[in-house]
């Protein structure tokens, strides 16, 4: 295995039980992290665990406490918490299957690779059967998992040659959006502005490729650190520049919609009106010409 498993157990579908290991699909080491340092001495700041009125305490004297009222706690040891008997600590029961599009992205939390236990001869065959069944039905399997003192809903879906598990938040962990969006206007947006936005979206439509994006902020911070080590000014990190033409076009369209057309900029409605008027003007000129010929 490439690293130590985050969790080992079984995925169960009815009478089929598949021994698996979970491995984190993301890594935090790619991000820059800082320590707090005492500036005069340059030494890292450490924090002591202290009790008010008592002072520093030994690690073995620390237990977990759940506050039931202000200043009153129910004390629990790690052993007592580990002894809580829940099947979800060892087995992920797939109890429901849904379309992935039915799950609001706000519920997704953290992805893991699901790998069959290579010590079990039957694990790989059952694993592949589940993967192919999920592919053909285009469904995501839902269950529950308890690991490291935290319970989560989990969604299992095909991912290339393997399976991916994503932990999901429970409903009571999600804030309601109503209070944040209550002041936004209801009804349809201006059709011309929406049309422009659709055109811009169509121009930039593509398949998702994360390699096209780079973490410019982390690069700039790393360059700052290197520059300080080498005692030189930091180099500027190039960032993709937005075209000003798009901004000007949006502003011009907004002005035309409000009846204040910019020079050489006409709204779609104005152009449509002109097109309708052109045949009428041409027919009037033709009539005038015929009358003149008759008079002659």
The pLDDT score that the predictor gives to residue 85 is: 66
The pLDDT score that the predictor gives to residue 291 is: 55
The pLDDT score that the predictor gives to residue 284 is: 52
Bridge partners of residue 155, in order along the sequence: 142, 166
Instruction: Tell me if 120 sits within 8 A of 127, measured CB to CB.
Output: no
Work out whether strand 150-159 and strand 16-24 pair parallel, antiparallel, or are unpaired.
Answer: unpaired
| DSSP structure class, residue 174 | S
Distance CA 296, CA 289 (A): 11
The pLDDT score that the predictor gives to residue 266 is: 46
* Full pLDDT tens readout for the chain, 296 residues: 458 899 999 999 988 899 999 999 998 766 788 899 999 999 999 888 999 999 999 988 888 999 999 989 999 888 888 777 676 689 999 999 999 899 999 999 999 999 999 888 889 999 999 999 999 999 999 999 988 878 899 999 999 999 999 999 999 999 998 889 888 888 778 888 888 888 878 888 899 888 887 878 888 888 888 898 899 898 887 766 655 555 555 676 666 555 544 444 444 444 555 555 555 554 555 555 555 555 54
Bridge partners of residue 162, in order along the sequence: 159
The pLDDT score that the predictor gives to residue 23 is: 96
Which three-class secondary structure state does DSSP give residue 137? Answer: helix
Instruction: Tell me if 19 sits within 8 A of 1, measured CB to CB.
Output: no
- Which token pair is 119? 């010590």
Distance CA 47, CA 101 (A): 45
Instruction: Tell me if 216 sits within 8 A of 32, measured CB to CB.
Output: no
What are the Cα distances from residue 34, in Å, to 30, 37, 44, 47, 221? Answer: 13, 9, 10, 15, 11
Q: Where in the chain is the domain with CATH 2.40.290.10?
A: 7-29+83-172
CATH fold, domain 7-29+83-172, is Ku70; Chain: A; Domain 2 (2.40.290)
Q: How many CB atoms lie within 10 A of CB 92?
A: 26
């Amino acid at each position: 295995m490439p690293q130590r498993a985050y969790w080992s157990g079984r995925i169960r579908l009815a009478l089929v039980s598949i021994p698996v290991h979970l491995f984190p699909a993301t890594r935090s080491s790619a991000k820059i992290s800082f320590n707090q340092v005492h500036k005069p001495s340059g030494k890292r700041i450490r924090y002591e665990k202290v009790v008010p009125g008592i002072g520093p305490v030994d690690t073995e004297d620390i237990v977990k406490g759940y506050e039931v009222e202000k200043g009153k706690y129910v004390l629990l040891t790690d052993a007592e918490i580990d002894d809580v008997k829940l099947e979800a600590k060892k087995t992920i029961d797939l109890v429901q299957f849904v379309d992935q599009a039915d799950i609001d992205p706000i519920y997704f939390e953290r992805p893991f690779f699901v790998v069959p236990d290579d010590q079990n001869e039957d694990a790989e065959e059952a694993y592949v059967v589940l993967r192919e069944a999920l592919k053909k039905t285009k469904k995501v399997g839902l269950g529950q998992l308890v690991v490291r003192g935290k319970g989560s809903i989990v969604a299992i879906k095909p991912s290339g040659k393997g399976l991916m598990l994503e932990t999901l938040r429970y409903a009571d962990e999600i804030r309601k959006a109503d209070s944040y969006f209550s002041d936004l206007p209801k009804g349809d947006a201006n059709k011309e502005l929406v049309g422009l936005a659709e055109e811009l979206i169509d121009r930039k439509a593509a398949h998702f490729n994360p390699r096209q994006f780079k973490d410019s902020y982390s690069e700039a911070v790393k360059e700052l650190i290197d520059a300080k080590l080498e005692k030189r000014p930091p180099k500027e990190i190039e960032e993709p520049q937005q075209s000003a033409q798009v901004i000007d076009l949006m502003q011009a369209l907004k002005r035309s919609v409000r009846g204040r057309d910019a020079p050489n900029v006409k709204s779609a409605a104005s152009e449509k009106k002109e097109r309708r008027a052109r045949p009428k003007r041409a027919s009037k000129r033709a009539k005038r010409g015929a009358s003149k010929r008759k008079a002659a």
